[in-house]
C-alpha cells in the first residue's frame, strides 16, 4: 500500500473525518482568542478556564447518570460550556477589581476546578481512561453530536473574534483610551472572556483541557516572530494553528500517541525552528546594515563644550 | 451657550485617598486651557475623570452639555493619555493603533475609509511615512505622536491631552505645537495638562493651577516660580514608558497612590 492509499484510507474513516473537521475548526478558532490574550498579557487564562471546565465535564457526567441518559457523557460538553463560561466571567470580574487578593482567588478557582473535576468523575463512574481523554484529548470520543456543537461554537468564536477585531483590539491595547471613547469596555472584556471559554470547550476533545491554552498561545508566539502588524499576527497564527492541528492529528492515525500532545509538540517545534531561522536571517541582515547610523539626525539638546564631541 | 466641559463639585477618590475635591471647572467652545500644578497635585486624575476613565465619587461632569455616559457625543472628544508603553504583547502598526481611534460609543466597527483617515491623521503629526511600521520600533516621541493621531483621527471638537510633551524629543515637541496651532485656528477646544508652557506658550490664554487636589488659580497663565524660571531652565523627565511613579517625577516627591487599571 503506498502513501496515497494510506491517506485515502484515513480520509474515508468516518471517525477520522469527524476528528479532522474538529481539528480544523479548533486550529482556526484558538489562535484568534489567543491573540487577544497575549496582547493583554493573560496568556495563562485559557489554562485556568480549562481547569474549571473539568468540573463542568464531571458535573455533566453526574447529571447524565442521574437522568439515565444513554451515553454516560452525553452532558459532558454542555457541562463544560456552562462551567467554562461561568469560570471565565468570574476571572474577568476579579481582574476588573484589580485587587491583590485576585491572584489568590484565581489560584483557588483553578485548583478547585481540577480537584473537583477529578473527584466528581470517579463518583460518576468514569474511568482513568475517560479522565485522560478529557485532560489530553481523545479523537475517538468525537461523536456526531459533539461535532455539531463544535462547529456552532467555533463559528461563534470566529464571527465575534474576527468581526469585532478593531473594538477588541482597542480595549485590549489601551483600556483607558477605550473608556474615554465611550466604548462598552466591560461588555467587550466579558465578550473576550466568554469566547475564551467557548474556545476551551471547542478544543477540549482535540487537545484536552490541560493543553488547550498551548493551542491558543503557541501559534501566536510563532506568528509574532515573523510579523509586525496585529492583523497579520492573527492571520498567521490561524494558519499555524490549522497546520499543526491537522498534521498532528493525522500522525495519530498511524502512530498510537495522544493527539493533544502531538499537536502541541509540533507547535513548539515550529516555534523553535522559526526562532532559529529568524536568528540566522537577522544575523545576515545585521551584517548588511553595519556602518549605517541607526540614530535619527536630530539637533542636540545641550551645548557641547568640546567641539567635535560628536 | 453650554460650555464644552463642565465639572461641578467634582470629588474623586482612588485607593481610599481623596485625590480631587470641590472642583468646579468650565471650558468654553474654542478655548485653549492649560492645566498646571506640581507633581501629584491631581492634574492627570482630573482629566481622566473628565473623560470618564476614572469614576467620580460625587459631583457631575458634562461634556457638550451631556452628563458622562453613553449619550455623550464621544466622536467629538479626543483623548491623549499619558504615554503608555505602546508596545504590548502583540505587534501592532501605527496605522492599526490610529484606526482603533475611529471607534466610539456608537461605532464598534471601523468606517470604510478608516485607513485613509488614519494615514491623514498620522500625516498631521508628521508620521505619514511610518504608518506601516510596528509601534514598538518607534521612538518615545513618535509613539506619543501616534497616540495624538489616534485622538485626531475622529476630527474631535474637544481635545484633552495629558502631558503630551513630557519626555518627548524636541522635533516631536515642535511638530506637536504646530499641529495644535492648526487645530486651535479651526476652533478646536483644547484642555492640556502641562508641566511648563514651553512651545505652547503663544496658544494659551488661560491656565488652571491645581494644588493639593483643588483649584488654586484660574485665569491668565501665572509666571513660573523662581526656581523654574526662565527659558533656559532644563527640565528632566525620567520617562521609562510605564505608568509607575517614575513617570511623574522624582519618586521621593511623587505620591505613591496611582490609579490601577
For B90-122, how does the pLDDT look when each residue is reduced to its tens digit (9 = 90+)? 889 999 999 999 998 888 899 889 999 999 999
B96, part of any domain: yes
CA distance B84 to B147: 9
Asked whether residue A105 carries a pLDDT value surpassing 80, the answer given is: no
Q: How many domains does chain B have?
A: 1
Percent share of chain A, pLDDT over 70: 87
Nearest Cα to Cα of residue A54 among A123, A140, A120: A120
Asked whether residue B243 carries a pLDDT value surpassing 70, the answer given is: no
B260, part of any domain: no
Cell numbers of A229, please? 502588524
A309, part of any domain: no
CA distance A174 to B243: 12
- Looking at per-residue pLDDT, the higher value among B24 and B228 belongs to B24
What's residue A252's pLDDT? 87
Q: For the segment B41-91, what is each residue's pLDDT rounded down to a tens digit?
A: 888 899 999 999 888 889 999 999 899 888 889 989 999 988 766 566 788
Q: Smallest CA–CA separation between A233 and chain B, in Å?
A: 7
Nearest Cα to Cα of residue B143 among B166, B117, B159: B166
What's residue B69's pLDDT? 85
Asked whether residue A92 carries a pLDDT value surpassing 50, the answer given is: yes
Q: Smallest CA–CA separation between B261 and chain A, in Å?
A: 7
Q: Smallest CA–CA separation between A42 and chain B, in Å?
A: 10
Nearest CA in chain A to B50: A180
Q: For the segment A115-145, what is each residue's pLDDT rounded down to a tens digit?
A: 998 888 888 777 888 888 888 887 766 778 7
Judged by CB atoms closer than 8 Å, whether chains meet at B101 and A231 is answered as no
Q: For the segment A264-303, what is each residue's pLDDT rounded down to a tens digit?
A: 999 999 999 999 998 888 777 766 656 555 565 555 666 6
Top mean pLDDT of A51-65, A68-82, A106-120, A235-249 is at: A235-249
**Contact criterion met (CB below 8 Å) for B167 and B83:** yes
Q: How far is CA B114 from CA B102, B144, B159, in A?
A: 7, 20, 20
What CATH number does residue A262 fall under?
A: 1.10.3470.10
CA distance A72 to A95: 36
Query: Which DSSP category does B197 fall into?
Result: -
Residue at grid coordinates 493527539: A259
What's residue B156's pLDDT? 92
B227, part of any domain: yes
Asked whether residue A236 carries a pLDDT value surpassing 90, the answer given is: yes
**Least-confidence region, from A223-237, B115-129, B182-196, B230-244:** B230-244
What CATH number does residue B96 fall under?
A: 3.40.50.300
Burial B63-84, CB ≥16 within 10 A → b, else e: bbeeebeeebbbbbbbbbbbbb
Asked whether residue B231 carries a pLDDT value surpassing 60, the answer given is: no
CA distance A219 to A267: 7
A128, part of any domain: yes
Judged by CB atoms closer than 8 Å, whether chains meet at A299 and B170 is answered as yes
Q: Which of residues 3-42 of A touch B (CB under 8 A)?
A: 35, 38-41
Domain that holds residue B66: 5-248
Residue at grid coordinates 513630557: B166
What's residue B226's pLDDT? 56
A103, part of any domain: yes
Q: Residue B97, Cβ neighbours under 10 Å: how many?
A: 27
Cβ contacts (< 8 Å) between B261 and chain A: which residues?
Answer: 98, 175-176
Cell numbers of B92, please? 501592532
Judged by CB atoms closer than 8 Å, whether chains meet at A180 and B81 is answered as yes
Query: Which DSSP category does B200 fall into?
Result: G
Selecting from B72, B79, B100 the residue whose C-beta is nearest the C-beta of A170 gives B100
B257, part of any domain: no
Selecting from A164, A179, A230 the residue whose C-beta is nearest the C-beta of B92 gives A230
B214 forms bridges with which residues in the sheet? Answer: B211
**Contact criterion met (CB below 8 Å) for B25 and B7:** yes
Cell numbers of B217, please? 488659580
CA distance A234 to A131: 32
Nearest CA in chain A to B98: A170
Q: What is the mean pLDDT of chain B?
A: 81
Q: State the best of B72, B89, B162 to mutate against chain A, taking most chain A CBs within 10 Å.
A: B89
Residue A96 touches partner B, C-beta closer than 8 Å: no
Domain that holds residue A194: 3-288
Mean pLDDT in residue range A187-194: 91
Judged by CB atoms closer than 8 Å, whether chains meet at A181 and B101 is answered as yes
Nearest Cα to Cα of residue B165 among B218, B134, B203: B203
What's residue B257's pLDDT? 44
Nearest CA in chain A to B111: A166
Mean pLDDT in residue range A86-90: 89
Rg, chain A, Cα only: 23
What's residue B239's pLDDT? 47
What's residue A260's pLDDT? 87
Residue A173 touches partner B, C-beta closer than 8 Å: yes
Q: State the best of A39, A97, A173, A302 to mutate against chain B, taking most chain B CBs within 10 Å.
A: A173
**Least-confidence region, from A204-208, A241-245, A267-271, B197-201:** B197-201
Cβ contacts (< 8 Å) between B52 and chain A: which residues?
Answer: 179-180, 182
**Least-confidence region, from A12-21, A262-271, B151-160:** A12-21
Nearest Cα to Cα of residue A214 among A276, A146, A278, A261: A261
Asked whether residue A89 carries a pLDDT value surpassing 70, the answer given is: yes
Query: Which DSSP category does B136 fall into?
Result: G
CA distance A192 to A195: 5
Residue A103 touches partner B, C-beta closer than 8 Å: no
What's residue A160's pLDDT? 93
Selecting from B106, B170, B261 the residue whose C-beta is nearest the C-beta of A301 gives B170
A306, part of any domain: no
CA distance A112 to A133: 20
A201, part of any domain: yes
Q: Smallest CA–CA separation between A28 and chain B, in Å?
A: 18
Q: How many domains does chain A have?
A: 1
CA distance B162 to A205: 49
pLDDT band at A25 (very low <50, low <70, confident <90, very high): very high
Nearest Cα to Cα of residue A37 among A179, A219, A177, A210: A219
Q: How many CB pairs under 8 A join A and B?
A: 117
Cell numbers of A36, please? 487577544
By CB atoms closer than 10 A (0-12, 13-18, 19+), residue A205 is buried
Q: What is the mean pLDDT of chain A?
A: 85
CA distance B45 to B50: 9
Q: How big is the CA angle at B109 (ends B105 and B112), to the nearest 5 degrees? A: 125
Residue at grid coordinates 470566529: A158
What's residue A141's pLDDT? 67
By CB atoms closer than 10 A (0-12, 13-18, 19+), residue B206 is middle
What's residue B89's pLDDT? 76
Query: Which DSSP category does B134 fall into?
Result: B
Mean pLDDT in residue range A254-271: 90
Mean pLDDT in residue range A86-97: 84
Amino acid at each position: 500500500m503506498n502513501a496515497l492509499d494510506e491517506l485515502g484510507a484515513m480520509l474515508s474513516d468516518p471517525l477520522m473525518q469527524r476528528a479532522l473537521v474538529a481539528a480544523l475548526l479548533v486550529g482556526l478558532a484558538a489562535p484568534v482568542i489567543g491573540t487577544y490574550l497575549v496582547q493583554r498579557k493573560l496568556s495563562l487564562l485559557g489554562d485556568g478556564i480549562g481547569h474549571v471546565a473539568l468540573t463542568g465535564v464531571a458535573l455533566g457526567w453526574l447529571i447524565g447518570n442521574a437522568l439515565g441518559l444513554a451515553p454516560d457523557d452525553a452532558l459532558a460538553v454542555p457541562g463544560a460550556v456552562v462551567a467554562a463560561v461561568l469560570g471565565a466571567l468570574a476571572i474577568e470580574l476579579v481582574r476588573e477589581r484589580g485587587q491583590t487578593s485576585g491572584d489568590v482567588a484565581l489560584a483557588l478557582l483553578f485548583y478547585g476546578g481540577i480537584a473537583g473535576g477529578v473527584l466528581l468523575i470517579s463518583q460518576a463512574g468514569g474511568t482513568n481512561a475517560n479522565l485522560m481523554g478529557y485532560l489530553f484529548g481523545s479523537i475517538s470520543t468525537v461523536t456526531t453530536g459533539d461535532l455539531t456543537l463544535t462547529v456552532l461554537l467555533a463559528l461563534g468564536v470566529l464571527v465575534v473574534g474576527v468581526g469585532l477585531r478593531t473594538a477588541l483590539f482597542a480595549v485590549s491595547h489601551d483600556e483607558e483610551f477605550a473608556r474615554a471613547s465611550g466604548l462598552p469596555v466591560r461588555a467587550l472584556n466579558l465578550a473576550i472572556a466568554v469566547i475564551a471559554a467557548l474556545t476551551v470547550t471547542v478544543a477540549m476533545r482535540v487537545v484536552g483541557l490541560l493543553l488547550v491554552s498551548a493551542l491558543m498561545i503557541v501559534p501566536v508566539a510563532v506568528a509574532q516572530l515573523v510579523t509586525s502588524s496585529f492583523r497579520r499576527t492573527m492571520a498567521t497564527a490561524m494558519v499555524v494553528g490549522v497546520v499543526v492541528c491537522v498534521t498532528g492529528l493525522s500522525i495519530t492515525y498511524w502512530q498510537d500517541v495522544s493527539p493533544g500532545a502531538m499537536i502541541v509538540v509540533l507547535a513548539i517545534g515550529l516555534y523553535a525552528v522559526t526562532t532559529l531561522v529568524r536568528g540566522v536571517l537577522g544575523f545576515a541582515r545585521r551584517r548588511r546594515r553595519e556602518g549605517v547610523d541607526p540614530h535619527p539626525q536630530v539637533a542636540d539638546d545641550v551645548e557641547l563644550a568640546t567641539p567635535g564631541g560628536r | 451657550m453650554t460650555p464644552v466641559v463642565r465639572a461641578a463639585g467634582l470629588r474623586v477618590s482612588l485607593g481610599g485617598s481623596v485625590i480631587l475635591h470641590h472642583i468646579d471647572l468650565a471650558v468654553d467652545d474654542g478655548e485653549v486651557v492649560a492645566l498646571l500644578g506640581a507633581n501629584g497635585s491631581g492634574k492627570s486624575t482630573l482629566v481622566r475623570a473628565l473623560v470618564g476613565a476614572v469614576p467620580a465619587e460625587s459631583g457631575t461632569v458634562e461634556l457638550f452639555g451631556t452628563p458622562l455616559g453613553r449619550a455623550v457625543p464621544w466622536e467629538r472628544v479626543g483623548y491623549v493619555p499619558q504615554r503608555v508603553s505602546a508596545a504590548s504583547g502583540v505587534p501592532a502598526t501605527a496605522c492599526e493603533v490610529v484606526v482603533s481611534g475611529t471607534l466610539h460609543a456608537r461605532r464598534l466597527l471601523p468606517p470604510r475609509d478608516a485607513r485613509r483617515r488614519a494615514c491623514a491623521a498620522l500625516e498631521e503629526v508628521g508620521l505619514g511615512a511610518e504608518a506601516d511600521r510596528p509601534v514598538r520600533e518607534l521612538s518615545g516621541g513618535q509613539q506619543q505622536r501616534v497616540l495624538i493621531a489616534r485622538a485626531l483621527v475622529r476630527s474631535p471638537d474637544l481635545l484633552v491631552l495629558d502631558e503630551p510633551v513630557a519626555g518627548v524629543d524636541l522635533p516631536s515637541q515642535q511638530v506637536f505645537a504646530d499641529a495644535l496651532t492648526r487645530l486651535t485656528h479651526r476652533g478646536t477646544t483644547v484642555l492640556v495638562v502641562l508641566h511648563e508652557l514651553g512651545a505652547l506658550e503663544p496658544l494659551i490664554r488661560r491656565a488652571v493651577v491645581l494644588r493639593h487636589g483643588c483649584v488654586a488659580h484660574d485665569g491668565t497663565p501665572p509666571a513660573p516660580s523662581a526656581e523654574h524660571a526662565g527659558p533656559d531652565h532644563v527640565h528632566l523627565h525620567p520617562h521609562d514608558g510605564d505608568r509607575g511613579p517614575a513617570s511623574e517625577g522624582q519618586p521621593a516627591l511623587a505620591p505613591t497612590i496611582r490609579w490601577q487599571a
